[in-house]
Amino acid sequence: MTTAVPDAGADPTPSKGSSKHKGALKTRAGYAWIGLLIAAVIGILLLVFILQNLEQVNVTVFAWDWNLPLGVLVLLSVIAGALVTALIGGYRILQLRRAAKRK
């Protein structure tokens, strides 16, 4: 049985990427940069969507009447939906915390 002895001049690190920066993206700062890049891409796509949908649309809610560009209307609708979802989720978290304190 023979065992392979590494060459003295050979690099002991694996050939798949650099081991120096292997865990660089597993920090909070790394995740923050990834989040910022994703947010920037989504923002650019959203801006393109709004600029391509500038047709004015008549919006009537109860007694109020507005004329808004279609892209802005969709953006406002998404924001309103996200806020409602966040409020419901926040209320549920408060319920669970109260229940956990009682135990």
AA identity, residue 17: G
**pLDDT at residue 36 greater than cutoff 90:** yes
CA nearest 79: which of 37, 50, 41? 50
% of the chain with per-residue pLDDT over 70: 76
**Residue 23 structure tokens:** 């865990």
pLDDT digits (tens, 9 = 90+) for 47-83: 999 999 999 999 998 999 989 999 999 889 989 999 9
Alpha-carbon gap, residue 38 to 7, rounded angstroms:
44
| The residue to which tokens 């910022």 are assigned | 36
Query: Among residues 16, 35, 15, which one has the least CA distance to residue 25?
Result: 35
DSSP state of 100: H
Residue 21 has pLDDT above 70, yes or no: no
Q: Please tell me the predicted confidence (pLDDT) of residue 97.
A: 94
What single DSSP character describes residue 16? Answer: S
